[in-house]
Chains A and B, each alone.
Chain A
Amino acid sequence: MLGSGAKLGVAGADQRLSKGEGVQMLSSRVPVALAAALLASACQVQQTAIRKDLSKESERPLPHRVLLAEPDIRVHEISAGELVEEVREWSQKASGEAVKSVAGLAQSSGMFEVVQPSRLSDAERGALDQYASLYALVSGSAYAAQHSMYGAWQKRAAEFDYTLGPGMDSIGKNTKLDAVVFVVGTDYISSASRKAAMALGMALGVLAGRYLGPESKPAFLSAGIVDMHTGELLWYSTELRSGSDDLRDPAVVKSLVEDLFKTYPGAPKPSDAKK
């Protein structure tokens, strides 16, 4: 360019959320590093929440036919210089594994019947995409409230009455859907040179008395089920795993999905598995 081309665009896309203080109104983007720092600091804890009326099985029937929205999983390579680059092939692989794992778990446990988005019309898929964007904000808000250091937000999170609104009803009319499950995730895979740097950092750390290499980044996966008729977020769960866990690995994704769904009211109880 007359300037610095693609990089300018990237910088533009990641412009500040706010200047100064407060959330101010409102842009939709925040610095990547900030989010990464938070994710990295939020050790390996599973977070989950269920609507109160769903947690008592007698009050509300669990959804039977559930649309499995296309997962939004981003797998990145992180270089020795901490440059982060999404690798679409890896993202697709991880997303595919998530679909297989959720569908497999649903089938084997009888939690619900999975409906694939391929059965939706183009218009329905477009609408679903909009709701997926809204879900990102809703589940993000729930997560932030749960992780807030402030009591007011923590109490808000405990009430867990988040919703996407009743407008989703039209999406599933023809396919008689009860709910939709959204799966989102991120992972950061160290490049070969970064792995080498980690090894060297460890070796030098022995001499220096502290680890000198780059830190590993956790894998993050989350699933949420939204009632198609009311738009209510019925249940959601998040899982962070550090170390060598890699969302491209079918076994890792399967294990993460099983852990995520352990808190879902319709999930098989440990005693069921023994039978």
Chain B
Amino acid sequence: MRRNNLLFVRCAGAVFALCWSLAAASAKVPPFADVSALGQVSGDERRVWDEGDEFTRTLARGGVIYDDAATTAYVQNVADQLFPEFKGHIQVAIVKSAQLNAFALPNGRIYVNQGLLARLQNEAQLATLLGHEGTHFTNRHGYQSEKTAKDNAAFGVLGGMVVPLLPELIAVSSVYGFSREMETEADVQGYARLKKAGYDVHEAPRVFEHLIAEIKAEDIKEPFFFATHPKLADRVENMKKLSAGAPYGGKGTSTAEYTDVMMKTRVDNLELMLSMGRAKSALIMLGDPDRRAELPAQVDYYLGEAYRLRGQEGDIRLAEQAYVKAIEAAPEFAPSYRALGVLRLKANHYVDAQTYLDRYLELAPNAPDRKYVESYLKIARKKAGGQP
């Protein structure tokens, strides 16, 4: 029995050594030298690309792609300026999601959420993002990650036979997602692309500052930001260090030009955020007077909606003020009247409510919520009987 135990320990030790060597053998994959290398993708890497293709199809079938040809073409053009040698191989699409996120698939597909596009302020910031994501593709980080994950997982499970804690230790270090090293590499090489394409590199740190603001506002753990990545604050500092001393005046800093392109996306995103109840996140842009200037005249309606949905003490008063301002700024924008009318109704100001709700239906006779508004008007008229 004792002899068996000794043999078991020896065998287990051999397994452990074998596994360690497997994990250590996960050598770094070199970047694609040029576009001709893409045609030679094979074996395990081909599989990872195939999975990327399947995921691409799933996203398309599932109806989650934001279908706006002009905006997509604009974003694609920025990517092509950053990676001219990979033009036609890096393909960008926009995802209908308000979350601040973007990701690159191993097959060269880059997905940017409309929430992130809406939050960025100019083309240089967009270029920073795309330079980073494109570098994940050119440097084959997807394939490298899969390879490392496989090796580490193999090590973890086999090692787990004798050292149960090992899988957990490996899991928290770098099994899933791109490693810190890859993120840093994408930051640095993306920055180089940004510079080479003539963009103003001083805009680069702003991208990460937007993310920090989002996370603070939503008070959420975004594991994809934190689990395996350099701290965002550190990345801001790194970007600042990289750009220190670089000349100002590069291209892509015009907020107005970017706003022109992104206006529809921003409005769509605001509506998406509000429809999902993400009021705090919406208030990041809406609560900042400078950012409000990047939105259409009825912006205060959305600000009012965000306050109403946040529902903290005093928010209803703020919402009401915002709706009033929205009506002043955009008197033909119907939803502001409905929103104000409903607030007045709930505050028992029935005559006011009736006025605003009537005006809403005048401006939007085919409103999808007409039946609700008619029911409110019925109440308001009935109750306003005694009011002047």
Contact = CB atoms under 8 A, between A and B. Distances in A.
Interface in B33-75: 46-48, 50-55, 58-59
A197 interface: yes
Interface in A164-219: 193-194, 197, 200-201, 203-204, 207-208, 212, 214
A4 B104 CA distance: 9
Contacts of B153: 79-83
Nearest to A88: B50
A4 B226 CA distance: 9
Given A2-B207, A5-B177, A9-B111, A83 B106 contact: no
Given A2-B211, A3-B229, A201 B161 contact: yes
A208 B6 CA distance: 11
Given A203-B11, A204-B161, A6 B133 contact: no
Nearest to B225: A3
Given A79-B150, A85-B51, A1 B136 contact: yes
Given A2-B101, A2-B129, A207-B4, A7 B145 contact: yes
A80 B103 contact: no
Given A4-B229, A6-B52, A207-B7, A81 B152 contact: yes
A9 B55 contact: yes
A228 to B, nearest CB: 24
B32 interface: no
Given A8-B103, A207-B4, A212 B161 contact: yes
B185 to A, nearest CB: 13
B11 A207 contact: yes
B132 A13 contact: no
Interface in B171-225: 176-178, 207-208, 211, 222, 224-225
A5 B137 CA distance: 10
A193 B23 CA distance: 12
B108 to A, nearest CB: 12
Contact of A83 (B104, B149, B207, B229): B149
A89 B105 CA distance: 19
**Chain A contact surface mostly:** helix
A1 B161 CA distance: 35
A5 B227 CA distance: 12
A2 B132 contact: yes
Interface string A8-37: 111001000000000000000000000000
**Chain B contact surface mostly:** helix
B101 A86 contact: no
B154 interface: yes
Contacts of A200: 11, 15, 158
Contacts of A144: none
Nearest to A74: B54
Given A8-B101, A212-B161, A13 B154 contact: no
Given A10-B55, A83-B150, A207-B11, A5 B142 contact: yes
B141 interface: yes
Nearest to B129: A2
A192 to B, nearest CB: 11
B184 to A, nearest CB: 12
Interface string B223-266: 01101110000000000000000000000000000000000000
A189 to B, nearest CB: 12
B222 A5 contact: no
Given A13-B58, A212-B161, A214-B157, A5 B105 contact: yes
Interface residues of B, number: 56
Contacts of B52: 6
B36 to A, nearest CB: 22
A201 B46 CA distance: 31
A129 to B, nearest CB: 9
Nearest to B132: A2
A204 B12 contact: yes
A158 interface: no
A79 to B, nearest CB: 5
Contacts of A87: 47, 50
Given A1-B136, A80-B158, A6 B101 contact: no
B350 interface: no
A77 B12 CA distance: 25
Given A13-B55, A207-B4, A4 B154 contact: no
Nearest to A214: B157
B118 interface: no
A4 B178 contact: yes
A82 B155 CA distance: 11
Contacts of B161: 201, 204, 212
Contacts of A4: 103, 176-178, 224, 227-229
Nearest to B157: A81
Interface in A37-54: none
Interface string A67-102: 000000000010111110111110000000000000
Nearest to B62: A13
Contacts of A8: 101, 103, 177, 224
A5 B7 contact: no
- List 3 A-B pairs, minimum CB-CB distance, nearest first: A81-B153, A4-B177, A3-B224
Interface of B: 4, 7-8, 11-12, 15, 22, 46-48, 50-55, 58-59, 100-106, 111, 129, 132-133, 136, 141-142, 145-146, 149-150, 152-158, 161, 176-178, 207-208, 211, 222, 224-225, 227-229
21 contacts: A1-B136, A3-B102, A5-B105, A5-B136, A5-B141, A6-B106, A7-B176, A9-B59, A9-B103, A79-B150, A81-B149, A83-B149, A83-B150, A87-B47, A88-B53, A88-B54, A193-B22, A197-B154, A204-B11, A204-B12, A214-B157
